[in-house]
Amino acid sequence: MFGFFNKQRTVELKRFYHWDVFSVAVPADWNQNESKNNFLSITAPLDAATVTASSYKKEAATLSEFARLRYSAVHECFSPIGEEQRRRSNGFEILWREYEGIWPGNRSATLYLVECVQLTESVFVSLTITTTPKELKKNRKIYEDIVNSIQASPA
């Protein structure tokens, strides 16, 4: 009888900062991309995944309202998978929704994970992870650690 054991591996993380608003930690061998749109963009080796994040100021909004707005901006080629998820990390509530679809011009499925975090009464973060279903299944713990690493920058 043969068995395969999925050993948890320790991954060294590196923290990237978006202006003076928030930071996120990703594996140390990932690279930050140049961004012309003022958002944080970080890519895994061999383009296995991309993390993008940005902050938004929205007065008198709740996290649920912000998340609904963010989800409504997801490209029409993606469909939601399952229900929205809620979790807490670093003192913040996180709303998370997974989408799957085939991007126009591509032949294989892409997963698009959208996470929303409320940092202050009026500042929100949208973090997205774009990858393949196979990559997410293989490294789900790493992607959850990335989402859970969001921190507000010191004032």
Per-residue pLDDT of the chain (155 residues; tens, 9 = 90+): 333 334 456 789 999 999 999 999 999 999 999 988 889 999 999 999 999 999 999 999 999 999 999 999 999 999 999 999 999 999 999 999 999 999 999 999 999 999 999 999 999 999 999 999 999 999 999 999 999 999 999 86
Centroid of chain to Cα 44: 13
* Structural domain that includes position 41: 17-152
**Domain membership flag for residue 75:** yes
Centroid of chain to Cα 131: 10
Give the strand pairing for 31-32 and 123-131: unpaired
pLDDT the model gives residue 6: 42
**Domain membership flag for residue 79:** yes
Q: What residues contact residue 37 under an 8 Å CB cut-off, 6+ apart?
A: 54
Q: Structural domain tally of the chain?
A: 1
Q: Is-contact 26 53, C-beta < 8 A?
A: no
Does this model's pTM top 0.85? My answer is: yes
pLDDT the model gives residue 4: 33
**Domain membership flag for residue 34:** yes
17 sits in which H/E element: strand 13-18
**What CATH number does the domain containing 99 carry?**
3.40.1000.10
The Cα 151–Cα 145 span in angstroms is 12
